[in-house]
Structure 1
C-alpha cells in the first residue's frame, strides 16, 4: 500500500509492507517538490524491487552486504584458509568502496574502484578480489536486491610484477644440498624438500613409523597442521597418499636424526615441545642459505619445483614424477612443467632425426 502526504513545502511517499517475520513496516522517502515526483519515485521502487524488503537490503553498503553474504554462504562451508581470504577481501572492500550503497553501485563506479585497487596490486590479486565480490553481487541480483550486474564486463588490470625464479637448476640444486647441515632441524627440512619434492605440511607429518629403513621407503599418508595447530590432517588429495623411495644417504640421515632426538614411533620428527616450525621461518632460513651460497632466490615451494625439474631433465618420465609429487593426475604435472616438457621434446626430436639419419 502506498500513501502520499505533503510535509511543509515537499511531498513524501510511504510504502507499507511486511518484513520476514510478518511484522508491518513502513518505507518513507520525502523531499519531492511535486506529488507527481513522489508518485514516480514510489512507482520505481515497487517496479524495480519486487519485494520492498529487498529495497531495504539495497540500502546496505557493499561492505555490509558482503559481510552478511560471507556469514550466510561461506562461514562453515569453506576451509579456514579460504575463509581468511574472503575476510581479507571484506577488509579491502571497506577500504576501497567505503560506504557506497548497493543501489548506487554502477558499472563505471565499480570499474573505477577496481582500477584504484589495481594500482597497488598484481593482476592475479585483483582478479581474485573481483571474483569474490562478483559472486556476492550475482546472488544479490538473483534475490532482486539489485536490478543489474555492476561487475559485468569489468576490465582487470594490475601492477606489473617481475617474474620470480621458481626453481634452481641442477648444479645449483646440488650445491644447496651439499651445503645443508643435516644435524640442524631447519636445514634438514629444506634438505628433505629438495630430495623428495614433498609439500611442507607433508614433511611435518613424517613420523618414524612412516619410514621403512630396510628398504629405503617413505610412506606419505597424512600432513601436519602447522597453521592452526590442530594436529594430523588428511593429505591434499587421494593421490597424495603415496610411497616414495629414498636414496641411501637420505635414509641414513633420517635414521640418525630419529636416534639422536629419540623420536617416538608415531610422533612427527620436527616438533619442538609439540609445536612445528612455521613456514615463514623455514623460508627465511632458506633465503639466508641461498644468499650465503650466491644462489638465486626461490621459495620453499620452489624446492618442490626444483626436484621435479631435475628429475624431468634427467630423463625420468612425467608419469613417475607425477606419482612422486602426489599430483591428482598427470595433466597437473604436464601443465605445471609444460616448458620443460617442450624443451625435452625438442631434444627428443633431434635424437629421432639422428637415429633416422644412420639408416
Structure 2
C-alpha cells in the first residue's frame, strides 16, 4: 500500500532524492550535472506530477514533452536516467507497475553536423605560427594536441613521466578534472587508456621542454583554474593571424584523425589512437571523410581494372 506521504510526493522531488542517495559520490561530476539537468527538466515539464500518479500515459507524456525540444538520442538518454529511479520506486512499492515499459522514444530530426577540421596546409601554417617558449604555455599544448589527437582533458593530465622518448611513445592513462576541483580522474573509457607513437619532432622539442619538471605533475596545469575557453581563445587568435579556418581544440583532434584517414591509415588504427571504444564511433564521426575516400577507391578500382 502507498501511504499518504507517498501519495503527495512529487516525482521531481523523488528523483532529486534518488540522485542524492544513489548517484552522489558514485559518478563523475560531469555525469552528475546531466542528472541534475534531467531533474530540472522534470520539474519544468511536469511540476505537479506525483509519484503515485506515474503511470504509462503520464510517463509517455513527459517523454513527448521533452522530445519536442530535443533530438531522439538526447531523449533516449533522458529516458534511461529516469528509468533507473523509477524501477527503484517500483521495487520500493511506491509505484505498482513499471510505467517505462514499452515507452516510445521520439525527438527532433538531428541536424547534420559536419565536423570542423584543418587541411594539412592549414595545420602546417598554424604550427609554424606557434610561439614555443622555454616554459610550457598554451602554444605547446596546441602543438601536442595537433600531433597526438588527444582529448582536452587527457592532454591537461599529461606529465613528464608519461613520455618514453627512447621508444617514441606517450602513455595516456588519466584525465584532468578541469570542470571540477582539479586533480586526476580516470579516462573516458577503458579503450582511452593507450600508448601512442609520437614523431621525432615532439620527442626533440618536449624532451627539452620538460627537463627539470616533476615527473608526476601535469605539464600544463598551474595554480589557477583552467577553462576550455582560454585555450580555444588562444587557438582562435592564431587561426585569425594565419588567415586559416577557425577551429576549437576539439577541432584539432578531428584534424589529427582526418589527416591520418586521408593519408591511408586504417580506421582501426585511428580508432585506437583516438581512444574510441569501438571502430563504430570512428566510422560515425568521420563518415563524410570515409565516403570521400571510398569514392577515390572506386576511381582507383576502375583505373586498375581498365588497365588489365
TM-score normalised by the chain length of structure 2: 0.81
Secondary structure of 1:172's aligned partner: helix
Contact 1:201 1:226 in 2 (8 A): yes
Larger gyration radius, structure 1 or structure 2: 1
1:169 aligns with 2:119: yes
Greater percentage in strand? 1
Q: Give distance in 1, aligned partners of 2:110 and 2:192.
A: 34
Cα separation, partners in 2 of 1:265 and 1:65, compared to 1, 3 Å: closer
2:264 aligns to what? Answer: 315
1:97 aligns to what? Answer: 46
2:84 aligns to what? Answer: 135
1:186 aligns with 2:138: yes
Q: Give distance in 1, aligned partners of 2:250 and 2:218.
A: 20
Contact 2:76 2:105 in 1 (8 A): no
2:22 to 73, 83, 93: 73
2:200 aligns to what? Answer: 248
Query: How many Å apart are 1:106 and its aligned residue?
Result: 6.0
1:271 aligns to what? Answer: 221
Cα separation, partners in 2 of 1:140 and 1:181, compared to 1, 3 Å: same
Cα separation, partners in 2 of 1:295 and 1:141, compared to 1, 3 Å: farther
1:199 aligns with 2:148: no
1:301 aligns to what? Answer: 250
Q: Give distance in 2, aligned partners of 1:120 and 1:71.
A: 26
Structure having greater relative contact order (Cα 8 Å, sep ≥ 6): 2
Cα separation, partners in 2 of 1:128 and 1:235, compared to 1, 3 Å: closer
Q: Give distance in 1, aligned partners of 2:306 and 2:110.
A: 47
Number of aligned positions between the proteins: 305
Q: Give distance in 2, aligned partners of 1:116 and 1:294.
A: 44
2:37 to 79, 85, 88: 88
Cα separation, partners in 2 of 1:154 and 1:330, compared to 1, 3 Å: closer
TM-score normalised by the chain length of structure 1: 0.71
Query: How many Å apart are 1:140 and its aligned residue?
Result: 3.1
